[in-house]
Amino acid sequence: AQSVTQLDSQVPVFEEAPVELRCNYSSSVSVYLFWYVQYPNQGLQLLLKYLSGSTLVKGINGFEAEFNKSQTSFHLRKPSVHISDTAEYFCAVSDQNAGNMLTFGGGTRLMVKP
């Protein structure tokens, strides 16, 4: 069975500061990893995904994430955040046996302060 842990439920940060949102997963097989963002009253938007290959993945809006197999982590980073990045961020995992089923972490609320 898969599971995803997002270690921080809330992350406050000042505008233009760097941020890291942490994600750890557990799975018995090779995984696919995703980060989604959810703005208020909206659905989920894909930020980036790791399928295979390079462990550093770049996504939209300046976000990137690094897959670390030995630490079973997939942390999301942005070097300089904007007020508009305030949202809920979800890490998710799937694998070749799960079909289209995603297992989500509990989410991290990023709060960017001016």
Partner 1 sequence: KAGVTQTPRYLIKTRGQQVTLSCSPISGHRSVSWYQQTPGQGLQFLFEYFSETQRNKGNFPGRFSGRQFSNSRSEMNVSTLELGDSALYLCASSTVQGLPREQYFGPGTRLTVT
Q: Which residues bind partner 1 (CB under 8 A)?
A: 32, 36, 41-46, 49, 51, 90, 92, 94, 96, 98-107
What's the min distance (Å) between Cβ of 61 and partner 1? Answer: 17
CA distance 39 to 24: 23
Please provide residue 29's backbone torsions phi and psi, each rounded to the nearest 5 degrees: -130, 175
Q: Which is nearer to partner 1, 45 or 71 (CB)?
A: 45
What's the min distance (Å) between Cβ of 69 and partner 1? Answer: 17
What's the min distance (Å) between Cβ of 27 and partner 1? Answer: 15
Dig out the tokens for 94 from the structure: 């799937």
CA distance 11 to 4: 18
